[in-house]
């Protein structure tokens, strides 16, 4: 059981881990050993996540989420299966932690009288500067 926040947790059986061959350089080792990790998590049907967290998680996952709400994370930074598995789990937990954080609601405010006055004064000064740059007509 992975606890992320109060009321937000992921059971170990909800995470499916498979091992695949990593791409990129590595010599013979890359062709023989399946060290890359592909982690799958069904976010749309996870009972440990509240509905609003599920929705935010799928939206945050972007292209890592499939149409049915399954998030796939591939980790191949390290040379060992163990470290890649830890890396994939950490990335999933960080993604869920970000989704568990409620976005702050913006409350629209009006500018203060003094800020409006400063703005108008700045515009007046700028206008005066530009007016003084014009050609002088001596006729």
Residue 75: in which H helix or E strand, if any? Answer: strand 70-75
Report pLDDT for 130: 94
Report pLDDT for 127: 96
- Listed by start position, the domains of the chain span 2-100
Please give the share of the chain, as a percent, with pLDDT higher than 90: 19
The torsion angles phi and psi of 53, rounded to 5 degrees, stand at -70, -40
- Residue 12 CA, distance from chain mean position: 23
The structure tokens listed for 102 are 């409620």
Q: Which residue positions in the chain have pLDDT lower than 50?
A: none
Q: Which pTM does this prediction carry? A: 0.68
Report pLDDT for 135: 85
pLDDT tens, position by position, 18-40: 888 877 666 666 677 787 888 88
CB-based contact 128:90 (threshold 8 Å): no
Fold observed for domain 2-100: Double Stranded RNA Binding Domain (3.30.160)
* Closest to 73 in 3D by CA, of 34, 35, 30, 37: 37
* Closest to 43 in 3D by CA, of 68, 63, 12: 68
* Closest to 73 in 3D by CA, of 26, 62, 10, 50: 62
């Amino acid at each position: 059981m992975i606890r992320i926040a109060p009321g937000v947790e992921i059971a170990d059986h909800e995470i499916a881990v498979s091992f695949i061959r990593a791409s990129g350089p590595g010599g013979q080792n890359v062709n023989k050993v399946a060290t890359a990790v592909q982690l799958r998590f069904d976010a749309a049907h996870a009972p440990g996540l509240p509905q609003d967290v599920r929705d935010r998680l799928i939206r945050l996952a972007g292209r890592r989420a499939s149409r049915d709400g399954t998030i796939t994370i591939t980790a191949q930074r390290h040379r060992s299966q163990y470290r890649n598995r830890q890396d994939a789990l950490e990335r999933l937990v960080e993604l869920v932690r970000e989704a568990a954080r409620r976005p702050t609601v913006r409350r629209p405010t009006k500018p203060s009288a003094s800020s409006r006055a400063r703005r108008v004064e700045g515009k007046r000064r700028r206008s005066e500067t530009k007016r003084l740059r014009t050609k002088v007509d001596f006729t």
